[in-house]
Structure 1
Protein backbone atom coordinates (compact mmCIF):
# COMPACT_ATOMS: atom_id res chain seq x y z
CA UNK A 1 0.00 0.00 0.00
CA UNK A 2 1.31 3.44 -0.89
CA UNK A 3 0.17 6.78 0.45
CA UNK A 4 0.66 8.85 3.56
CA UNK A 5 2.13 5.99 5.56
CA UNK A 6 4.43 4.79 2.81
CA UNK A 7 4.84 1.34 1.33
CA UNK A 8 4.34 -1.64 3.57
CA UNK A 9 6.71 -4.55 3.75
CA UNK A 10 5.21 -8.03 3.23
CA UNK A 11 5.37 -8.60 6.99
CA UNK A 12 3.60 -5.31 7.72
CA UNK A 13 0.92 -6.01 5.13
CA UNK A 14 0.33 -9.40 6.75
CA UNK A 15 0.09 -7.78 10.18
CA UNK A 16 -2.52 -5.39 8.82
CA UNK A 17 -4.63 -8.32 7.61
CA UNK A 18 -4.29 -10.03 10.99
CA UNK A 19 -5.15 -6.81 12.80
CA UNK A 20 -8.35 -6.31 10.82
CA UNK A 21 -9.35 -9.94 11.37
CA UNK A 22 -8.65 -9.77 15.11
CA UNK A 23 -10.66 -6.58 15.56
CA UNK A 24 -13.53 -8.06 13.56
CA UNK A 25 -13.55 -11.24 15.62
CA UNK A 26 -13.68 -9.21 18.83
CA UNK A 27 -16.45 -7.04 17.34
CA UNK A 28 -14.33 -3.92 17.72
CA UNK A 29 -14.19 -3.01 14.04
CA UNK A 30 -16.38 -0.13 12.91
CA UNK A 31 -17.68 0.43 9.38
CA UNK A 32 -15.51 3.54 8.97
CA UNK A 33 -12.28 1.76 9.96
CA UNK A 34 -10.42 1.62 6.65
CA UNK A 35 -6.87 0.36 6.23
CA UNK A 36 -5.41 3.81 6.84
CA UNK A 37 -7.17 4.02 10.21
CA UNK A 38 -5.86 0.61 11.25
CA UNK A 39 -2.37 1.46 10.03
CA UNK A 40 -2.30 4.52 12.25
CA UNK A 41 -2.59 2.30 15.32
CA UNK A 42 -0.17 -0.30 14.00
CA UNK A 43 2.41 2.36 13.19
CA UNK A 44 1.96 4.02 16.57
CA UNK A 45 2.83 0.70 18.21
CA UNK A 46 5.62 -0.39 15.88
CA UNK A 47 3.40 -3.02 14.19
CA UNK A 48 3.15 -4.93 17.46
CA UNK A 49 -0.25 -6.59 16.97
CA UNK A 50 -1.16 -7.01 20.62
CA UNK A 51 -0.13 -3.48 21.58
CA UNK A 52 -2.06 -2.06 18.61
CA UNK A 53 -5.16 -4.03 19.66
CA UNK A 54 -4.87 -2.71 23.21
CA UNK A 55 -4.47 0.83 21.90
CA UNK A 56 -7.48 0.49 19.59
CA UNK A 57 -9.62 -0.97 22.37
CA UNK A 58 -8.60 1.85 24.70
CA UNK A 59 -9.52 4.39 22.02
CA UNK A 60 -13.01 2.94 21.67
CA UNK A 61 -13.53 2.98 25.44
CA UNK A 62 -12.38 6.61 25.64
CA UNK A 63 -14.71 7.63 22.82
CA UNK A 64 -17.64 6.11 24.66
CA UNK A 65 -16.66 7.88 27.89
CA UNK A 66 -16.44 11.37 26.34
CA UNK A 67 -19.18 10.89 23.75
CA UNK A 68 -16.88 11.56 20.80
CA UNK A 69 -19.21 9.90 18.29
CA UNK A 70 -22.00 12.40 18.94
CA UNK A 71 -20.04 15.46 20.06
CA UNK A 72 -20.57 17.31 16.77
CA UNK A 73 -24.31 17.09 17.24
CA UNK A 74 -24.61 17.76 20.97
CA UNK A 75 -21.69 19.95 22.07
CA UNK A 76 -22.25 23.70 22.00
CA UNK A 77 -19.43 26.15 22.67
CA UNK A 78 -20.82 29.70 22.38
CA UNK A 79 -17.75 31.09 24.15
CA UNK A 80 -15.43 29.86 21.38
CA UNK A 81 -14.68 33.29 19.91
CA UNK A 82 -13.98 34.75 23.34
CA UNK A 83 -11.67 31.87 24.25
CA UNK A 84 -9.69 32.33 21.03
CA UNK A 85 -8.75 35.82 22.18
CA UNK A 86 -7.38 34.39 25.42
CA UNK A 87 -5.96 31.14 24.02
CA UNK A 88 -5.49 31.38 20.22
CA UNK A 89 -5.64 27.93 18.57
CA UNK A 90 -7.16 27.33 15.15
CA UNK A 91 -6.92 25.75 11.71
CA UNK A 92 -5.96 28.08 8.88
CA UNK A 93 -5.63 27.09 5.22
CA UNK A 94 -3.15 24.41 4.04
CA UNK A 95 0.57 23.81 3.54
CA UNK A 96 2.36 22.88 0.30
CA UNK A 97 1.40 19.22 0.79
CA UNK A 98 -2.27 20.13 1.10
CA UNK A 99 -2.35 19.44 4.85
CA UNK A 100 -4.49 21.58 7.18
CA UNK A 101 -2.37 23.99 9.21
CA UNK A 102 -3.05 24.09 12.95
CA UNK A 103 -1.72 27.14 14.77
CA UNK A 104 -1.47 27.54 18.54
CA UNK A 105 -0.13 30.67 20.24
CA UNK A 106 0.63 29.38 23.72
CA UNK A 107 2.42 32.59 24.69
CA UNK A 108 -0.87 34.47 24.42
CA UNK A 109 -2.63 32.18 26.86
CA UNK A 110 -4.28 34.15 29.68
CA UNK A 111 -5.46 31.32 31.87
CA UNK A 112 -6.93 33.42 34.69
CA UNK A 113 -9.14 35.38 32.28
CA UNK A 114 -9.99 32.23 30.33
CA UNK A 115 -11.31 30.54 33.44
CA UNK A 116 -13.65 33.45 34.07
CA UNK A 117 -15.62 32.66 30.92
CA UNK A 118 -15.28 28.89 30.64
CA UNK A 119 -13.65 25.83 32.21
CA UNK A 120 -10.67 23.74 31.14
CA UNK A 121 -13.06 20.80 30.80
CA UNK A 122 -15.08 22.72 28.22
CA UNK A 123 -11.91 23.79 26.40
CA UNK A 124 -10.93 20.13 26.38
CA UNK A 125 -14.28 19.11 24.91
CA UNK A 126 -13.91 21.80 22.25
CA UNK A 127 -10.55 20.21 21.40
CA UNK A 128 -12.24 16.84 20.90
CA UNK A 129 -14.98 18.54 18.86
CA UNK A 130 -12.35 20.13 16.61
CA UNK A 131 -10.68 16.75 16.11
CA UNK A 132 -13.94 15.20 14.94
CA UNK A 133 -14.62 18.07 12.51
CA UNK A 134 -11.05 17.81 11.20
CA UNK A 135 -11.35 14.08 10.54
CA UNK A 136 -14.87 14.03 9.15
CA UNK A 137 -14.87 17.27 7.15
CA UNK A 138 -11.58 19.11 6.82
CA UNK A 139 -9.39 16.20 5.75
CA UNK A 140 -12.01 15.24 3.16
CA UNK A 141 -12.11 18.79 1.73
CA UNK A 142 -8.30 18.96 1.60
CA UNK A 143 -8.15 15.58 -0.14
CA UNK A 144 -10.67 16.66 -2.76
CA UNK A 145 -8.75 19.86 -3.44
CA UNK A 146 -5.40 18.14 -4.14
CA UNK A 147 -6.82 14.93 -5.62
CA UNK A 148 -5.19 12.56 -3.13
CA UNK A 149 -5.64 11.35 0.42
CA UNK A 150 -4.77 13.96 3.06
CA UNK A 151 -4.98 12.82 6.67
CA UNK A 152 -2.15 14.60 8.44
CA UNK A 153 -1.60 18.14 9.67
CA UNK A 154 1.15 20.71 9.93
CA UNK A 155 1.19 22.21 13.42
CA UNK A 156 2.81 25.54 14.24
CA UNK A 157 3.27 26.11 17.97
CA UNK A 158 4.16 29.74 18.70
CA UNK A 159 5.87 30.24 22.07
CA UNK A 160 6.36 34.00 21.77
CA UNK A 161 5.69 35.52 25.17
CA UNK A 162 5.72 32.23 27.04
CA UNK A 163 6.69 32.69 30.69
CA UNK A 164 6.61 30.53 33.83
CA UNK A 165 3.07 31.80 34.54
CA UNK A 166 1.88 29.92 31.48
CA UNK A 167 2.94 26.62 33.04
CA UNK A 168 0.95 26.67 36.27
CA UNK A 169 -0.05 23.29 37.64
CA UNK A 170 -3.60 23.34 36.15
CA UNK A 171 -2.20 24.36 32.75
CA UNK A 172 0.49 21.66 32.89
CA UNK A 173 -2.16 19.06 33.72
CA UNK A 174 -4.36 20.33 30.89
CA UNK A 175 -1.50 20.17 28.35
CA UNK A 176 -0.61 16.69 29.55
CA UNK A 177 -4.23 15.60 29.09
CA UNK A 178 -4.34 17.05 25.58
CA UNK A 179 -1.02 15.40 24.67
CA UNK A 180 -2.31 12.01 25.84
CA UNK A 181 -5.53 12.35 23.84
CA UNK A 182 -3.70 13.39 20.68
CA UNK A 183 -1.18 10.56 20.90
CA UNK A 184 -3.30 7.71 22.23
CA UNK A 185 -6.68 8.33 20.63
CA UNK A 186 -5.82 10.27 17.46
CA UNK A 187 -2.43 8.74 16.59
CA UNK A 188 -0.41 9.49 13.47
CA UNK A 189 -2.46 12.47 12.35
CA UNK A 190 0.47 14.79 13.01
CA UNK A 191 2.63 15.14 9.93
CA UNK A 192 5.01 17.82 11.19
CA UNK A 193 5.26 20.26 14.10
CA UNK A 194 7.30 23.44 14.04
CA UNK A 195 7.86 25.13 17.40
CA UNK A 196 8.75 28.79 16.87
CA UNK A 197 9.93 31.66 19.07
CA UNK A 198 11.28 29.14 21.57
CA UNK A 199 12.59 31.23 24.52
CA UNK A 200 15.80 30.58 26.41
CA UNK A 201 13.74 29.00 29.17
CA UNK A 202 12.22 26.58 26.70
CA UNK A 203 14.80 23.90 27.47
CA UNK A 204 13.50 23.70 31.02
CA UNK A 205 9.90 23.62 29.81
CA UNK A 206 10.76 21.01 27.18
CA UNK A 207 12.17 18.82 29.94
CA UNK A 208 8.75 18.93 31.60
CA UNK A 209 6.76 18.29 28.42
CA UNK A 210 9.04 15.80 26.66
CA UNK A 211 8.19 12.76 28.83
CA UNK A 212 4.55 13.09 27.75
CA UNK A 213 5.47 12.74 24.08
CA UNK A 214 6.19 9.40 22.44
CA UNK A 215 9.33 8.77 20.36
CA UNK A 216 7.54 8.81 16.99
CA UNK A 217 6.02 12.22 17.72
CA UNK A 218 9.33 13.66 18.92
CA UNK A 219 10.88 12.89 15.54
CA UNK A 220 8.23 15.05 13.85
CA UNK A 221 8.99 18.11 16.00
CA UNK A 222 11.43 20.82 14.92
CA UNK A 223 12.31 23.67 17.27
CA UNK A 224 13.15 27.15 15.94
CA UNK A 225 13.97 30.42 17.68
CA UNK A 226 12.97 33.81 16.35
CA UNK A 227 14.32 33.19 12.83
CA UNK A 228 11.56 30.86 11.72
CA UNK A 229 10.05 32.55 8.66
CA UNK A 230 12.33 30.82 6.15
CA UNK A 231 11.49 27.41 7.57
CA UNK A 232 7.75 28.05 7.53
CA UNK A 233 7.87 29.31 3.94
CA UNK A 234 9.58 26.06 2.93
CA UNK A 235 6.40 24.33 4.07
CA UNK A 236 3.66 26.91 3.41
CA UNK A 237 2.90 29.26 0.54
CA UNK A 238 3.22 32.89 1.65
CA UNK A 239 -0.43 33.66 0.89
CA UNK A 240 -1.53 30.84 3.20
CA UNK A 241 0.58 32.00 6.14
CA UNK A 242 -0.73 34.69 8.53
CA UNK A 243 1.20 37.96 8.69
CA UNK A 244 2.30 37.36 12.28
CA UNK A 245 4.11 34.23 11.08
CA UNK A 246 5.88 35.97 8.21
CA UNK A 247 3.26 35.37 5.52
CA UNK A 248 0.97 37.82 3.78
CA UNK A 249 -2.47 36.56 4.78
CA UNK A 250 -4.59 39.11 6.61
CA UNK A 251 -8.05 37.67 7.20
CA UNK A 252 -10.94 40.01 7.91
CA UNK A 253 -11.55 39.78 11.64
CA UNK A 254 -8.27 37.93 12.16
CA UNK A 255 -6.95 34.64 10.82
CA UNK A 256 -7.80 32.92 14.11
CA UNK A 257 -11.51 33.58 13.51
CA UNK A 258 -11.78 32.96 9.76
CA UNK A 259 -11.65 29.15 9.59
CA UNK A 260 -10.27 29.66 6.09
CA UNK A 261 -9.45 26.57 4.07
CA UNK A 262 -10.84 24.16 1.45
CA UNK A 263 -13.41 23.10 4.05
CA UNK A 264 -14.84 26.63 4.10
CA UNK A 265 -14.98 27.81 0.50
CA UNK A 266 -16.95 30.96 1.32
CA UNK A 267 -14.43 32.07 3.95
CA UNK A 268 -11.41 31.19 1.81
CA UNK A 269 -12.67 32.97 -1.32
CA UNK A 270 -13.61 36.01 0.75
CA UNK A 271 -10.19 36.09 2.39
CA UNK A 272 -8.29 35.77 -0.89
CA UNK A 273 -9.20 39.35 -1.69
CA UNK A 274 -7.61 40.51 1.57
CA UNK A 275 -4.21 38.91 1.10
CA UNK A 276 -1.54 41.60 1.17
CA UNK A 277 0.62 41.60 -1.95
Structure 2
Protein backbone atom coordinates (compact mmCIF):
# COMPACT_ATOMS: atom_id res chain seq x y z
CA UNK A 1 0.00 0.00 0.00
CA UNK A 2 2.89 2.37 0.78
CA UNK A 3 4.31 2.03 -2.75
CA UNK A 4 0.84 2.35 -4.29
CA UNK A 5 0.05 5.46 -2.25
CA UNK A 6 3.34 7.09 -3.22
CA UNK A 7 2.66 6.36 -6.89
CA UNK A 8 -0.90 7.70 -6.60
CA UNK A 9 0.32 10.84 -4.83
CA UNK A 10 2.88 11.45 -7.58
CA UNK A 11 0.22 11.06 -10.28
CA UNK A 12 -2.17 13.39 -8.50
CA UNK A 13 0.60 15.95 -7.90
CA UNK A 14 1.35 15.98 -11.63
CA UNK A 15 -2.31 16.67 -12.39
CA UNK A 16 -2.52 19.43 -9.78
CA UNK A 17 0.50 21.11 -11.38
CA UNK A 18 -1.66 21.64 -14.46
CA UNK A 19 -4.46 23.61 -12.78
CA UNK A 20 -4.95 27.34 -13.29
CA UNK A 21 -3.16 29.95 -11.18
CA UNK A 22 -6.20 30.84 -9.02
CA UNK A 23 -6.61 27.13 -8.19
CA UNK A 24 -2.90 26.84 -7.37
CA UNK A 25 -3.18 29.83 -5.04
CA UNK A 26 -6.11 28.42 -3.08
CA UNK A 27 -4.43 24.98 -2.99
CA UNK A 28 -1.40 26.60 -1.38
CA UNK A 29 -3.67 28.17 1.22
CA UNK A 30 -5.14 24.73 1.85
CA UNK A 31 -1.97 22.72 2.28
CA UNK A 32 -0.08 25.26 4.42
CA UNK A 33 3.27 23.94 3.26
CA UNK A 34 2.31 20.25 3.22
CA UNK A 35 0.96 19.55 -0.30
CA UNK A 36 1.69 15.81 -0.24
CA UNK A 37 -0.28 15.29 2.99
CA UNK A 38 -3.21 17.14 1.42
CA UNK A 39 -3.07 15.02 -1.74
CA UNK A 40 -3.05 11.85 0.39
CA UNK A 41 -6.17 13.02 2.24
CA UNK A 42 -8.12 13.37 -1.00
CA UNK A 43 -6.77 10.07 -2.31
CA UNK A 44 -7.80 8.27 0.87
CA UNK A 45 -11.26 9.85 0.67
CA UNK A 46 -11.66 8.36 -2.80
CA UNK A 47 -10.25 4.91 -2.06
CA UNK A 48 -6.92 5.77 -3.77
CA UNK A 49 -8.50 6.36 -7.18
CA UNK A 50 -6.44 9.10 -8.83
CA UNK A 51 -9.17 10.23 -11.28
CA UNK A 52 -11.79 10.42 -8.50
CA UNK A 53 -9.42 12.17 -6.09
CA UNK A 54 -8.43 14.62 -8.84
CA UNK A 55 -12.07 15.49 -9.55
CA UNK A 56 -12.79 15.85 -5.84
CA UNK A 57 -9.81 18.15 -5.33
CA UNK A 58 -10.55 20.31 -8.39
CA UNK A 59 -14.19 20.61 -7.29
CA UNK A 60 -12.96 21.68 -3.87
CA UNK A 61 -10.59 24.29 -5.33
CA UNK A 62 -13.38 25.70 -7.50
CA UNK A 63 -15.74 25.79 -4.49
CA UNK A 64 -13.16 27.71 -2.50
CA UNK A 65 -12.67 30.23 -5.30
CA UNK A 66 -16.36 30.71 -6.07
CA UNK A 67 -17.24 31.20 -2.38
CA UNK A 68 -14.15 33.24 -1.41
CA UNK A 69 -13.18 30.74 1.27
CA UNK A 70 -9.62 32.10 1.39
CA UNK A 71 -11.12 35.37 2.65
CA UNK A 72 -13.65 33.91 5.09
CA UNK A 73 -11.42 34.66 8.09
CA UNK A 74 -11.70 38.34 7.13
CA UNK A 75 -15.47 38.26 7.67
CA UNK A 76 -16.38 38.62 11.37
CA UNK A 77 -19.93 37.83 12.41
CA UNK A 78 -21.17 41.13 13.81
CA UNK A 79 -22.39 42.52 16.10
CA UNK A 80 -20.66 40.50 18.78
CA UNK A 81 -23.94 39.90 20.62
CA UNK A 82 -25.13 37.93 17.59
CA UNK A 83 -21.90 35.93 17.58
CA UNK A 84 -22.39 35.17 21.27
CA UNK A 85 -25.87 33.84 20.53
CA UNK A 86 -24.43 31.64 17.78
CA UNK A 87 -21.85 30.27 20.19
CA UNK A 88 -24.59 29.55 22.74
CA UNK A 89 -26.66 27.65 20.17
CA UNK A 90 -23.96 25.98 18.02
CA UNK A 91 -21.94 24.21 20.67
CA UNK A 92 -18.38 23.63 19.51
CA UNK A 93 -15.00 24.48 20.96
CA UNK A 94 -11.38 23.48 21.45
CA UNK A 95 -10.97 21.79 24.84
CA UNK A 96 -7.25 21.01 24.57
CA UNK A 97 -4.81 18.62 22.91
CA UNK A 98 -4.19 14.89 22.95
CA UNK A 99 -0.94 13.43 24.25
CA UNK A 100 0.16 13.21 20.60
CA UNK A 101 -0.52 16.90 20.07
CA UNK A 102 -3.79 16.62 18.13
CA UNK A 103 -6.37 19.35 18.84
CA UNK A 104 -9.42 18.05 20.72
CA UNK A 105 -12.69 19.62 19.60
CA UNK A 106 -15.85 19.18 21.66
CA UNK A 107 -19.27 19.27 19.99
CA UNK A 108 -22.53 19.49 21.90
CA UNK A 109 -24.64 17.62 19.37
CA UNK A 110 -27.56 16.95 21.67
CA UNK A 111 -27.90 20.44 23.13
CA UNK A 112 -27.19 22.61 20.09
CA UNK A 113 -30.39 24.42 19.14
CA UNK A 114 -29.37 26.36 16.00
CA UNK A 115 -32.23 28.77 16.66
CA UNK A 116 -30.55 32.16 17.13
CA UNK A 117 -29.56 32.99 13.57
CA UNK A 118 -30.07 32.06 9.93
CA UNK A 119 -28.65 28.89 8.42
CA UNK A 120 -26.08 30.98 6.55
CA UNK A 121 -24.56 32.29 9.79
CA UNK A 122 -24.17 28.78 11.20
CA UNK A 123 -22.53 27.52 7.99
CA UNK A 124 -20.24 30.57 7.94
CA UNK A 125 -19.24 29.97 11.56
CA UNK A 126 -18.63 26.28 10.88
CA UNK A 127 -16.33 27.00 7.93
CA UNK A 128 -14.49 29.72 9.84
CA UNK A 129 -13.68 27.25 12.61
CA UNK A 130 -12.48 24.75 9.97
CA UNK A 131 -10.25 27.36 8.34
CA UNK A 132 -8.91 28.63 11.67
CA UNK A 133 -8.13 25.04 12.64
CA UNK A 134 -6.27 24.42 9.37
CA UNK A 135 -4.48 27.76 9.06
CA UNK A 136 -3.72 28.57 12.70
CA UNK A 137 -4.35 25.72 15.18
CA UNK A 138 -2.75 22.84 13.24
CA UNK A 139 0.30 24.81 12.00
CA UNK A 140 0.89 26.03 15.57
CA UNK A 141 0.67 22.45 16.88
CA UNK A 142 3.02 21.26 14.12
CA UNK A 143 5.60 23.86 15.13
CA UNK A 144 5.20 23.12 18.85
CA UNK A 145 5.56 19.33 18.57
CA UNK A 146 8.19 19.38 15.82
CA UNK A 147 6.27 17.10 13.46
CA UNK A 148 3.42 17.47 11.03
CA UNK A 149 0.00 17.48 12.69
CA UNK A 150 -2.82 17.66 10.19
CA UNK A 151 -5.76 16.06 11.98
CA UNK A 152 -7.87 16.61 15.06
CA UNK A 153 -9.96 14.55 17.46
CA UNK A 154 -13.65 15.24 18.01
CA UNK A 155 -15.68 14.37 21.10
CA UNK A 156 -19.40 14.38 20.37
CA UNK A 157 -21.62 14.89 23.42
CA UNK A 158 -25.08 13.43 22.83
CA UNK A 159 -26.51 14.66 26.14
CA UNK A 160 -30.03 15.99 25.66
CA UNK A 161 -30.48 14.49 22.20
CA UNK A 162 -34.20 14.36 21.48
CA UNK A 163 -36.51 13.65 18.59
CA UNK A 164 -36.61 17.39 17.95
CA UNK A 165 -33.16 16.90 16.42
CA UNK A 166 -35.07 15.92 13.29
CA UNK A 167 -35.52 19.64 12.58
CA UNK A 168 -31.73 20.13 12.58
CA UNK A 169 -30.89 17.36 10.15
CA UNK A 170 -30.89 19.60 7.07
CA UNK A 171 -28.41 22.05 8.60
CA UNK A 172 -26.22 19.31 10.05
CA UNK A 173 -26.23 17.61 6.65
CA UNK A 174 -25.09 20.84 5.00
CA UNK A 175 -22.14 21.21 7.38
CA UNK A 176 -21.27 17.52 7.13
CA UNK A 177 -21.32 17.75 3.33
CA UNK A 178 -18.99 20.76 3.41
CA UNK A 179 -16.57 18.72 5.55
CA UNK A 180 -16.82 15.50 3.53
CA UNK A 181 -16.19 17.16 0.17
CA UNK A 182 -13.81 19.98 1.10
CA UNK A 183 -12.09 18.99 4.35
CA UNK A 184 -11.74 15.20 3.97
CA UNK A 185 -9.77 13.11 6.44
CA UNK A 186 -9.20 15.98 8.90
CA UNK A 187 -10.52 14.01 11.89
CA UNK A 188 -8.60 11.03 13.23
CA UNK A 189 -11.34 9.74 15.56
CA UNK A 190 -14.86 10.68 16.57
CA UNK A 191 -15.64 9.76 20.19
CA UNK A 192 -19.35 9.63 21.00
CA UNK A 193 -20.24 10.07 24.67
CA UNK A 194 -23.39 10.35 26.78
CA UNK A 195 -25.40 8.55 24.10
CA UNK A 196 -29.15 8.25 24.86
CA UNK A 197 -31.56 5.73 23.38
CA UNK A 198 -32.37 7.95 20.39
CA UNK A 199 -28.73 7.86 19.25
CA UNK A 200 -28.34 4.14 19.96
CA UNK A 201 -31.39 3.34 17.83
CA UNK A 202 -30.13 5.42 14.92
CA UNK A 203 -26.55 4.15 15.22
CA UNK A 204 -27.74 0.56 14.96
CA UNK A 205 -29.23 1.16 11.50
CA UNK A 206 -26.69 3.71 10.24
CA UNK A 207 -23.49 1.84 11.12
CA UNK A 208 -23.91 -0.87 8.43
CA UNK A 209 -24.26 1.87 5.79
CA UNK A 210 -20.91 3.48 6.54
CA UNK A 211 -17.77 2.78 4.57
CA UNK A 212 -15.19 0.83 6.54
CA UNK A 213 -12.74 3.77 6.66
CA UNK A 214 -15.49 5.89 8.26
CA UNK A 215 -16.75 3.18 10.57
CA UNK A 216 -13.36 2.59 12.22
CA UNK A 217 -13.07 6.29 13.08
CA UNK A 218 -16.21 6.32 15.23
CA UNK A 219 -16.00 5.01 18.79
CA UNK A 220 -19.08 5.01 20.98
CA UNK A 221 -17.89 5.15 24.60
CA UNK A 222 -19.70 4.16 27.77
CA UNK A 223 -21.22 7.04 29.71
CA UNK A 224 -19.16 10.24 29.63
CA UNK A 225 -16.14 8.35 28.29
CA UNK A 226 -13.74 9.77 30.87
CA UNK A 227 -11.64 6.67 31.50
CA UNK A 228 -11.18 5.85 27.81
CA UNK A 229 -10.37 9.44 26.85
CA UNK A 230 -7.80 9.78 29.63
CA UNK A 231 -5.76 7.15 27.78
CA UNK A 232 -5.16 9.61 24.94
CA UNK A 233 -5.34 13.02 26.64
CA UNK A 234 -4.64 14.62 30.00
CA UNK A 235 -7.44 15.56 32.37
CA UNK A 236 -7.10 19.27 31.57
CA UNK A 237 -7.89 18.57 27.92
CA UNK A 238 -11.06 16.60 28.64
CA UNK A 239 -14.23 18.45 27.60
CA UNK A 240 -16.06 19.47 30.77
CA UNK A 241 -18.91 17.02 30.09
CA UNK A 242 -16.43 14.13 30.26
CA UNK A 243 -14.96 15.00 33.64
CA UNK A 244 -17.75 13.59 35.78
CA UNK A 245 -18.69 10.01 36.34
CA UNK A 246 -22.20 10.79 35.14
CA UNK A 247 -23.72 12.89 32.38
CA UNK A 248 -23.19 16.62 32.79
CA UNK A 249 -25.64 19.26 31.73
CA UNK A 250 -24.49 22.08 29.50
CA UNK A 251 -26.81 24.48 31.24
CA UNK A 252 -25.38 23.60 34.65
CA UNK A 253 -21.80 24.10 33.49
CA UNK A 254 -22.39 26.95 31.07
CA UNK A 255 -20.97 29.61 33.38
CA UNK A 256 -17.84 27.62 34.20
CA UNK A 257 -14.42 28.73 33.01
CA UNK A 258 -13.89 25.31 31.42
CA UNK A 259 -16.84 25.64 29.05
CA UNK A 260 -15.06 25.58 25.69
CA UNK A 261 -18.33 26.38 23.88
CA UNK A 262 -18.60 29.86 25.38
CA UNK A 263 -17.44 33.01 23.63
CA UNK A 264 -15.61 33.79 26.90
CA UNK A 265 -13.38 30.72 26.48
CA UNK A 266 -9.80 31.51 25.30
CA UNK A 267 -10.28 29.54 22.06
CA UNK A 268 -13.25 31.59 20.90
CA UNK A 269 -11.73 34.83 22.18
CA UNK A 270 -8.60 34.15 20.11
CA UNK A 271 -10.61 33.07 17.06
CA UNK A 272 -12.85 36.13 17.13
CA UNK A 273 -9.92 38.47 17.74
CA UNK A 274 -8.04 36.89 14.83
CA UNK A 275 -10.97 37.38 12.44
CA UNK A 276 -11.44 40.99 13.56
CA UNK A 277 -7.72 41.64 13.11
CA UNK A 278 -7.76 40.16 9.60
CA UNK A 279 -10.82 42.27 8.77
CA UNK A 280 -9.07 45.43 9.94
CA UNK A 281 -6.40 44.90 7.27
CA UNK A 282 -9.01 45.09 4.51
CA UNK A 283 -9.54 48.36 2.59
CA UNK A 284 -13.23 48.55 3.58
CA UNK A 285 -14.95 47.86 6.88
CA UNK A 286 -16.87 44.55 7.14
CA UNK A 287 -20.59 44.81 6.62
CA UNK A 288 -23.16 43.31 8.92
CA UNK A 289 -24.86 40.25 7.48
CA UNK A 290 -24.14 36.60 6.88
CA UNK A 291 -21.85 35.25 4.20
CA UNK A 292 -23.74 32.97 1.81
CA UNK A 293 -21.72 29.88 0.95
CA UNK A 294 -22.93 27.41 -1.64
CA UNK A 295 -23.05 23.92 -0.16
CA UNK A 296 -22.17 21.19 -2.67
CA UNK A 297 -24.72 18.45 -3.22
CA UNK A 298 -24.35 15.47 -0.90
CA UNK A 299 -22.95 12.26 -2.36
CA UNK A 300 -25.10 9.16 -2.67
CA UNK A 301 -23.77 7.59 0.54
CA UNK A 302 -24.41 10.72 2.59
CA UNK A 303 -27.92 11.15 1.20
CA UNK A 304 -28.76 7.54 1.97
CA UNK A 305 -27.52 7.88 5.55
CA UNK A 306 -29.49 11.08 6.17
CA UNK A 307 -32.68 9.51 4.82
CA UNK A 308 -32.10 6.49 7.06
CA UNK A 309 -31.66 8.70 10.14
CA UNK A 310 -34.81 10.65 9.29
CA UNK A 311 -36.74 7.41 8.82
CA UNK A 312 -35.51 5.97 12.11
CA UNK A 313 -36.29 9.15 14.06
CA UNK A 314 -39.77 9.22 12.55
CA UNK A 315 -40.30 5.59 13.59
CA UNK A 316 -39.28 6.43 17.16
CA UNK A 317 -41.56 9.47 17.13
CA UNK A 318 -44.47 7.35 15.88
CA UNK A 319 -43.83 4.75 18.61
CA UNK A 320 -43.78 7.49 21.26
CA UNK A 321 -47.07 8.91 19.94
CA UNK A 322 -48.63 5.47 20.05
CA UNK A 323 -47.37 4.93 23.60
CA UNK A 324 -48.83 8.26 24.72
CA UNK A 325 -52.13 7.47 23.03
CA UNK A 326 -52.32 4.08 24.74
CA UNK A 327 -51.42 5.69 28.03
CA UNK A 328 -54.15 8.31 27.60
CA UNK A 329 -56.62 5.59 26.69
CA UNK A 330 -55.70 3.67 29.82
CA UNK A 331 -56.24 6.76 31.96
CA UNK A 332 -59.63 7.44 30.36
CA UNK A 333 -60.78 3.86 30.91
CA UNK A 334 -59.59 3.88 34.48
- After TM superposition, the score normalised by the length of structure 1 is 0.81
Contact 1:192–1:220 (8 Å) recurs in 2: yes
Runs of at least 5 residues in structure 2 that lack an aligned partner in the other structure: 245-254, 272-334
Contact 1:91–1:259 (8 Å) recurs in 2: no
Cα gap change, 1:26 to 1:232, in 2 (>3 Å): same
Runs of at least 5 residues in structure 1 that lack an aligned partner in the other structure: 1-7, 265-277
More helix by share: 2
1:211-222 alignment runs, 5 A limit: 214-222=211-219
Shift of 1:101: 0.8
1:171-186 alignment runs, 5 A limit: 171-186=168-183
1:18 is aligned to 2:16: no
1:46-195 alignment runs, 5 A limit: 46-77=47-78, 78=80, 79-111=82-114, 114=115, 117-168=116-167, 171-195=168-192
Aligned match of 1:255: 260
Aligned match of 1:4: none
Aligned to 1:127, the other structure's residue is in SS state helix
Contact 1:90–1:104 (8 Å) recurs in 2: yes
Shift of 1:210: 5.7
Aligned match of 2:251: none
Aligned match of 2:46: 45
- After TM superposition, the score normalised by the length of structure 2 is 0.68
* Counterpart-to-counterpart distance in 2, 1:253 and 1:190: 23
- Which of 84-93 and 34-43 deviates more? 84-93
- Tell me the C-alpha RMSD between the 2 structures: 2.6
Aligned to 1:188, the other structure's residue is in SS state coil
Larger Rg: 2
Shift of 1:211: 8.8
Contact 1:109–1:166 (8 Å) recurs in 2: no
Shift of 1:251: 6.2
Contact 1:154–1:190 (8 Å) recurs in 2: yes
Contact 2:101–2:145 (8 Å) recurs in 1: yes
* Counterpart-to-counterpart distance in 2, 1:135 and 1:143: 11
- Which of 51-60 and 234-243 deviates more? 234-243
* Counterpart-to-counterpart distance in 2, 1:104 and 1:188: 18
